Structure 1
Amino acid sequence: MNDNNNKGLLRTLTLKDAVGVGLGAIIGAGIFVVTGIAAGVSGPAFLIGLIAAGIIAAFNGLSSAQLAAIYPDSGGTYEYGYKLINPVFGFSAGWMFLISKLTAGGVVAIGFGSYFYQLVPIGSPLTLSVIAVVFLTIINFFGIKKAGLLNLVIVTVTLFSLLYFVFSGVPKVNPDNFKPFAPFGISGIAEAAALLFFAFTGYARIATLAEEVAEPKKTIPKAIIITIITSILLYAAVSVVAIGVIGAENMADSKSPLQMVAKSLTTPAINTVITIGASTAMLGVLLSQILGISRMMLAMGRRHDLPPVFQTIHNRYRVPHLGIVVTGLIILLLTIFGTFEFVVRAATFTILLYYSITNIAALKQPRKEQIYGRIIPICGLIGCLTMSVSLPFNVIISGIGLLIIGFMVRFLFHKIYDRREL
């Protein structure tokens, strides 16, 4: 293995590739699982929560787009925090990203195994999960172009399966299933919005990979906007059909609500198609997690917030190969031995802080760089802070605890490598 730090990453991701990365990160557990949980806390009115979550995500997405267009480097908000606020905010963003995405990687890998085992009952769901993690790690190792191409294939299959689901279900929609519309009032809708917001946050993967996007100033804002609009429309269409066919109560009672809907439809092979779609959706999220985490490790290695060895780039494949391998190994361990439950809960708080930092950084940009003005990041920041304080107290405390651990780790690395604070 030859490494050469003088050679950077390749700018080969086109608009199509960038949109594919964003959609691959968003269309996953949210649409196949979280919609049912949201239906349980707000009834059919979770559709309002869905729109609200999409709007807040759009504000955050525009802030990310504005920043990535000017600072097209790996690391996304980690870099913006360092450059526009101060190292404390920058490190906080990077550490919170790693914690939340590594944890999610283990959960998604397990989800893939359970879905794909229904299609191919070979070995066990865990065996299939392990194979998926190893396979995607290898694909990532051999270059961003190969990973991007595989991601487009995965996303295409997922999109077609969900469109087939929508067109199959529309004739079966019963208007009575939307009554009563908001049995739990405004508080239920607000809780649903907080739950569903996390389903939209994958668009930030585009910014994290900014160093590999061709013509980033034009491509990244377009990709983020297309990704968010497409995701909102798709989530809304799928949710309307799901409620209309089986009702919000049945959705809430099922761990896989779309499969439950599919079983009540008569369209040819609909159940198989949805199971395939759920499998590829989990695979797409897992692929994007490995992409994003390894690039964050690259950025943090450059500033010695992680061991500097993470900044090395493979001479031939031009990828942060050590970050990819370590990411794959950690996700593999979490898949085999299980994730820490308190970390999973705390990740919801940490990711909201991550996007809060994104909006603060956008506000700190010089006026001439603020493509969308100040109102967008202000609205995004208010939305993030409102949702973060509405989380259960133990979740907030767990998130703060993980952040403190992160600063202890950072102090240790900087002490070891005798590097001054940047």
Structure 2
Amino acid sequence: MSAHRIGLAQGTAIYVGAILGAGILALPALAAAEAGPAAVIAWTSLVLFCVPVALSFAAMGSEYPDGGGIATFVAKAWGPRASGAVGYWFYFALPAGAPATAFVGGQYVAHALGGGDRQALAVAAVLLAGAFGINAVGLKVSGRVQLGLVSLLAVLLLVAVVTALPQSDTDHLTPFAPNGWLSVGHAASLLFFTFAGWEAVTHLSGEFRDPRRDLRRTAILTLVVVAVLYLGLALACTLVLGPELAGSSAPLTLLLERGVGPAAGPVTAVLAIVLTFGTMTAYLAGASRLGAALARDGALPAWLRRGHAAGEVPRRSLGLLFVLSLALSAAALGFGLELGDVMLAASTCFIAVTVAGLAAGLRLLPRRSPVWWGTVVALVVMTVVLLFSGYFLLVPAVLAGISVAYSGRSRAAVPEVVENPTHSTTE
């Protein structure tokens, strides 16, 4: 892989693409339903506290440029068992996150066509099957195409905000916190689904021209772009849509309709499909490789390890993710789970991954340096956000318990398997 090296512009585009996922299409409405207009505080708080998170991960990526990302940091700081637990949190969150993401895209299509939940589910099933199919045959969407689509989404969000804001109504800010102030913390836990991804560039740190210089600059530029888009969208949705926001399945379409008219529906539906498909394809590619690597290192059954080498397709790991996605989707439909609950289950695991990475930073970064103190602040805040996940904390707790128990049995049976923990990671 050679000569190609990531520069500042491309790195920033990749990083922004990792943050701007399909969650942005649904979460403004779900957060408003949770906390009312006070959800703006949750958006603002997460943007502010993502500053030390992003800079901490950039610093660790600069110091340890490896494809492993957070799992590598955790392995270096706390050992292979802790790294295995972090791998489980990411790997097993995908069967919940992928179908939820597909359903968000389906809702936008259904909204544009005037259909209901059945139509949204049908579109979601097609998107999900397509994303798994693309990964199974080993095809990859062009990096330039994905970056172009991310740029288009960013422009769309900006247009939605700028054209709709003139219709703002400050009366929509009252009552400001109809569900109490604690609901802001619950909204922040839910919103983290669309803030996950700050660790993404650490997986590519070794491919930057100058990791020590460019990773930090990339993180800062990404923070600026994400802050403008997210805070602008949160304010516009709250001030323009008001009470209508909480009950909407396609808030971005509603916002565009206020600014540019009825053509907004089909446009956002197409973009939602492309964004949803691209997000799922990328995350499934990383998760399937993570599963194969975990199997190789003894954290999952050995039969899943096929395909862990560079250039191979980890079809067995991908197949397990597909089966788990179908099972969780059936369970969610059977028990009538809300979209927000499914997203919060996945979000709790992603927050736990972030907390683990920050905890590793306390051991790996220079003590009492500015970035170390920033890591301390971010760790405290993200731990509090994690606690607001409530009973969903059982998800990462159970996964960690299974990981530790399995890795202990595997280590006893095949002690040499875990000698190289830094590879238990996403690619």
The TM-score range, normalised by the shorter chain, is 0.7 to 0.9
Deviation at 1:165, TM superposition (A): 1.3
Aligned counterparts of 1:148 and 1:243: Cα–Cα separation in 2: 34
Query: What pairs up with 1:14-413 in 2 under 5 angstroms?
Result: 14-116=7-109, 124-126=122-124, 128-130=126-128, 132-134=130-132, 136-137=134-135, 141=138, 147-247=142-242, 249-267=243-261, 269-294=263-288, 296-297=290-291, 300=294, 303-306=297-300, 307=302, 308-314=305-311, 321-323=312-314, 325-326=315-316, 328-333=318-323, 336=326, 338-339=328-329, 341=332, 345-367=344-366, 372-392=370-390, 394-413=391-410
Instruction: Assess if the C-alpha contact under 8 Å between 2:43 and 2:231 holds in 1.
Output: yes
Deviation at 1:52, TM superposition (A): 0.5
Aligned counterparts of 1:79 and 1:299: Cα–Cα separation in 2: 12
Aligned counterparts of 1:184 and 1:127: Cα–Cα separation in 2: 34
Corresponding residue number in structure 1 for 2:336: none
Deviation at 1:51, TM superposition (A): 0.8
Residues 394-403 or 79-88, more deviating? 394-403
Instruction: Assess if the C-alpha contact under 8 Å between 2:26 and 2:104 holds in 1.
Output: no
- 1:342-381 per-residue CA deviation (whole Å, 9 max, x = no partner) reads 986543333222212211211112528x874321110111
Aligned counterparts of 1:79 and 1:244: Cα–Cα separation in 2: 43
Cα 1:13/1:106, change in 2 over 3 Å: farther
Instruction: Assess if the C-alpha contact under 8 Å between 2:132 and 2:284 holds in 1.
Output: no
Corresponding residue number in structure 1 for 2:425: none
Deviation at 1:70, TM superposition (A): 1.1
Partner-residue secondary structure (3-state), 2:197: helix
Aligned counterparts of 1:335 and 1:402: Cα–Cα separation in 2: 16
Instruction: Assess if the C-alpha contact under 8 Å between 2:297 and 2:417 holds in 1.
Output: no
Residues 299-308 or 19-28, more deviating? 299-308
Aligned counterparts of 2:22 and 2:408: Cα–Cα separation in 1: 35
Instruction: Assess if the C-alpha contact under 8 Å between 1:9 and 1:313 holds in 2.
Output: no
Cα 1:211/1:114, change in 2 over 3 Å: farther
Gaps of at least 5 residues in structure 1 are 1-7, 315-320
Partner-residue secondary structure (3-state), 2:216: helix
Cα 1:94/1:70, change in 2 over 3 Å: same
Instruction: Assess if the C-alpha contact under 8 Å between 2:161 and 2:232 holds in 1.
Output: yes
- 1:61-90 per-residue CA deviation (whole Å, 9 max, x = no partner) reads 222111111111122111111112222322
Instruction: Assess if the C-alpha contact under 8 Å between 1:61 and 1:203 holds in 2.
Output: yes
Aligned counterparts of 2:90 and 2:318: Cα–Cα separation in 1: 16
Instruction: Assess if the C-alpha contact under 8 Å between 2:289 and 2:307 holds in 1.
Output: no
Partner-residue secondary structure (3-state), 1:165: helix
Aligned counterparts of 1:165 and 1:343: Cα–Cα separation in 2: 27
Aligned counterparts of 2:289 and 2:185: Cα–Cα separation in 1: 33
Aligned counterparts of 2:163 and 2:327: Cα–Cα separation in 1: 39
Cα 1:86/1:26, change in 2 over 3 Å: same
Instruction: Assess if the C-alpha contact under 8 Å between 2:111 and 2:250 holds in 1.
Output: no
Instruction: Assess if the C-alpha contact under 8 Å between 2:193 and 2:346 holds in 1.
Output: no
Cα 1:126/1:389, change in 2 over 3 Å: closer
Partner-residue secondary structure (3-state), 1:349: helix
Aligned counterparts of 1:246 and 1:117: Cα–Cα separation in 2: 20
Aligned counterparts of 1:34 and 1:11: Cα–Cα separation in 2: 36
Aligned counterparts of 2:237 and 2:342: Cα–Cα separation in 1: 31
Instruction: Assess if the C-alpha contact under 8 Å between 2:85 and 2:400 holds in 1.
Output: yes
- What residue identity is the alignment partner of 2:105? F
Identity among equivalent positions (%) equals 21
Deviation at 1:169, TM superposition (A): 0.7
Partner-residue secondary structure (3-state), 1:419: helix
Deviation at 1:413, TM superposition (A): 4.3
- 1:96-132 per-residue CA deviation (whole Å, 9 max, x = no partner) reads 1212234312322343344346669999414531453
Instruction: Assess if the C-alpha contact under 8 Å between 1:28 and 1:278 holds in 2.
Output: no
Count of equivalent residues: 402
Deviation at 1:252, TM superposition (A): 1.1
Residues 211-220 or 53-62, more deviating? 211-220
Instruction: Assess if the C-alpha contact under 8 Å between 1:349 and 1:395 holds in 2.
Output: yes
Corresponding residue number in structure 1 for 2:422: none
- What residue identity is the alignment partner of 1:378? V
Deviation at 1:176, TM superposition (A): 2.0
Partner-residue secondary structure (3-state), 1:353: helix
Aligned counterparts of 2:2 and 2:393: Cα–Cα separation in 1: 36
Instruction: Assess if the C-alpha contact under 8 Å between 2:172 and 2:239 holds in 1.
Output: yes
> Superposition RMSD on alpha carbons, in Å?
3.3
